[in-house]
Amino acid sequence: MDCFYAAVHMRDDPALRGKPVVIGGTPESRGVVAAASYEARAFGIRSAMPSSQARRRCAHAIFLKPEFARYREESGFIFEVFREFTPVVQGVSVDEAYLDVTEHLGTWGSATAVAVAIKDRVRERTGLTVSVGVGPNRLVAKIASDFDKPDGLTVVPPKRVDEFLAPLHVRNLQGVGPATEKRLLEAFAVRTIADLRRVRESSLVSRLGRYGSQLFDFARGIDERPVVDESVRKSYSSERTYSEDLKDPQRIENEIVEQAERVGAGMAKRELVGSTVTLKVRYENFETVTRSLTLKEPTNDPDRLAQTALLLLGRTQARVRPVRLLGVGVSKLTVAGAREPMQLDLLLPVPSSSVVDG
């Protein structure tokens, strides 16, 4: 979806259309930007940016509080449209999904025709626009979906994958962030995907570990991850951003215990247990770290979760640095009493397919 949160507000309030709209906390409340309209993005405003910085970049920006229940409801309508075209829908977030239409072309006859129909039907039902990428796999479809926003449609047939990817910056590949980009540049003078193709797989693995092998494939447009209907919940978490930085170690520990109790109670209510506990800490300068530990037995016991989270706290600098945000999460979930975790294998090879990312 195109600037989804902001688009919902702009659709429902014509006075906001064409103006720089920012969804998030107010500049006065130490909030952060959750989403921004394209008009706001023109001023360099981006998600996760402090609202105070967004205000400095655009003094006349309109700040609106997020309404997540409203966005989830709207998302439900949109995903209903997706499932009218194929049952193989993998949601990435409330406003993004992969659709495998290989076996569901129906009367449309091609993935491109399906994409056009999806765009039209989403607009008719919701009044919102969606940008769609069509490609032979998830990697290509995702990159294509970001290629021509807003309201875009980019189609990359299998025979054009090499040509499409070659000139793009390496940051377009999933998993390549600032740190990996720097390592690739310093070690191999890699800037584009074409540059990356000249690097041996063994060299990438020596620098990046197992991800180096995947990156070698990604540079060639190879991605065997299937599109999987992930309707089963994979994690449960709670986090909080504080209006004033936390500096008292005891207060920080108390907050972690409270969050662990909240997560444990929520999991128990849904009859879930989990084996991997994750602590999230954001310091006053917005540096964010996560620490995880996998338990021998899955649990939803608040005390066990709290003990593990406090153990992970010792692997951070939270007791000596001011803390802006704390979060506790549990993943590798299992229905209580079940033997196997509800984690889906995303590395199984699948036949050549047509994937739509919307």
User: Which sequence positions are flagged as catalytic?
Assistant: 96
Q: What angle do CA 37, 144, 123 make, to 5 degrees?
A: 50
Other C-beta atoms within 10 Å of 12: how many? 10
Beta bridge partners of 36: 22
* Helices 210-218 and 201-208: angle between axes, nearest 10 degrees: 140
The values of phi and psi at residue 324, to 5°, are -100, -35
Edge-to-edge strands, sheet with 153-155: 89-93, 96-100, 355-357, 132-135, 153-155
Q: Are 279 and 290 in contact (CB under 8 A)?
A: yes
Q: Are 266 and 303 in contact (CB under 8 A)?
A: no
Q: Distance between CA 269 and CA 300 in Å, rounded?
A: 10
Closest residue by Cα to residue 317 from 285, 277, 292, 281: 281
User: 3-class DSSP state for residue 249?
Assistant: helix
List, in order, residues 6 or more apart from 219 with CB less than 8 Å away: 165, 173, 193, 196, 197
Q: Distance between CA 138 and CA 90 in Å, rounded?
A: 10
Token code pair at residue 52: 């105070």
Token code pair at residue 145: 């979906």
User: Percent helix, strand, coil in the chain (nearest 5)?
Assistant: 40, 25, 35
Q: Distance between CA 93 and CA 307 in Å, rounded?
A: 30
User: 3-class DSSP state for residue 83?
Assistant: helix
